A and B are shown apart, each in its own frame.
Chain A
């Protein structure tokens, strides 16, 4: 059993100012450090045993924080609106670029993959689930950092761990947690995409590199979420995936649809890749996260959207969403001559988990020229985010830290689906700490 907080507030939580962010747990830690640590440890155990979060530490330090970020209702509603509008924007942008070989190559796709993209069937959505990562800037505006559309993580945390945190940190139910709908919306998105398969789906393959604890655990959780979906679920390692005579087999069993929690850029180098794509193009297998999902995730597409922000491709509402939420972004090869790089961040097209992201102010002229020569970088205006205080566990010590909340907002089948928050440094890496996302309940009439 998880110990409940006996020091829980007995009155309604203090109201947030518009656009304000707040965390919940620092006061509890200050009041009772030993009790707080014990509750944190109990939480880690439960998260491991119930939600497959057995990989809840990174290099010995907890990745699952024992805290929650509270949004005010207006900020949450703006986040929902931004997520759904930007979902439409990315869908339109991908469909426009997908048939344009020269642009695809300019955005970092090797020509064989660009060729496949041109012919790839277009499903109603880019993938079952995507996640827009935002910062809330000092003016209370959500500013988009990137779109994780290919293999977004965090579902275990948002759907599972957050449920535990709500019980532990908010026993009186003063807040509404924001991840409560994620599992249902994810399941619905899978169901609707499977209906578009060119042939009936008797088996759905779920594939990952099982040698990576985090990826396997995410897929195990997903298997539980999709348990009653209909098709038989076959979970396998990438080494268990075979294509024979145009049919796709996982663990020796034919699958008619495949969801991959394995970066497609890594799959590109595997012997199974050409056969898998041939099978998809021939309608023998439905790839639930096709190559188009990687195009949506390509940071070069952010630059393309910025350049086309006033194009007739987008509706007026979508144009407003781009102007409001997307920071100014350029391909590094196309930056204006007068650009002051100290006010920008440099990001590799396909970098994941904060890899190959550099603050412009930290780049010297030689580094800058190297990035320009490599070509596969974008330059995005730095967002000055709000900061919050939380508790980090470093070695045997707990300490308060001011950090930046990176707010991931899920989109499933075109609808907002939940929030995944990590508290970290100016660049969010795997050393950031997950916390729950809450919003204050509406006061009773």
Chain B
């Protein structure tokens, strides 16, 4: 059985200077005895495709470029971790509360959180890649959102199933001033072509652009699973 508390600390540590924005609510639930333990393996990410584009465009592995992954949660986790060889580290912003019977299940996200947990500095947790900053390399951070948070749900379903969708607001992501103070010059936001960005992501990116930050919007052709947003 995965140790939710240890996992929480591993993922928190991975967020580095962005830990103030870290949220791993499914792991809090697991620690409180709520949420289904993962059975099936988590989905694969789209790290390969993203790395190919990033290398071609010259932003992959650059600490001054922040990545924003608005993918289905489990895929976002897999993708961020899949980019670890390029010096990318994940900052989880996962606010889904996995109440039993809720509109959004959390099995895949929990499976990904267990499967891809970064190594802790003391080597505990399940290692998937060498931590780049430990190796002395520069670090690029990827904020991992979960696109399902804005999935459309019909009213008859809402009458009977707990609505654990949510909207990200201004305190949930760093504003332009905070990004600049951290040396960020540009943001690359990516999502699956089949799932355009949620309205809150679109608003956030517009705000960054209005404040003068460069924003690259990237729709990836990766496949979605049934039930994806």
Contact = CB atoms under 8 A, between A and B. Distances in A.
Interface of A: 41, 45, 48-49, 52, 54-55, 57-62, 210-213, 216, 220, 235-237, 239-240, 242, 249, 251-252, 395-396, 430
A62 B20 contact: yes
A60 B18 contact: yes
A240 B162 contact: yes
A196 to B, nearest CB: 29
B195 interface: no
Contacts, number: 84
Interface of B: 4-5, 8-9, 12, 17-21, 23-25, 28, 31-32, 95, 97, 99, 158-167, 170-171, 174-175, 178, 181-182
Contact of A45 (B12, B21, B158): B12
A286 B28 CA distance: 32
B28 A210 contact: no
A213 B23 contact: yes
Contacts of B166: 210-213
A395 B32 CA distance: 30
18 contacts: A45-B5, A45-B8, A45-B12, A55-B23, A60-B18, A60-B20, A210-B162, A210-B166, A216-B97, A235-B162, A237-B164, A240-B159, A240-B162, A240-B163, A249-B159, A251-B162, A395-B178, A395-B181
By secondary structure, the A interface counts as: mixed
- Name the residue in A57, A60, A220, A242 with the highest tally of chain B Cβ atoms < 10 Å from its Cβ: A60
Contacts of B21: 57, 60
B9 A45 contact: yes
Contacts of A55: 23
A172 B160 CA distance: 50
A11 B28 CA distance: 38
Contact of A252 (B12, B31, B159): B159
B6 to A, nearest CB: 11
A210 B20 contact: no
Given A211-B167, A213-B25, A235 B18 contact: no
Contacts of A236: 162-163
B65 to A, nearest CB: 19
Contacts of B19: 41
A48 B162 contact: no
Nearest to B5: A49
Nearest to B30: A49
A98 B127 CA distance: 63
A395 B19 CA distance: 10
A216 B99 CA distance: 11
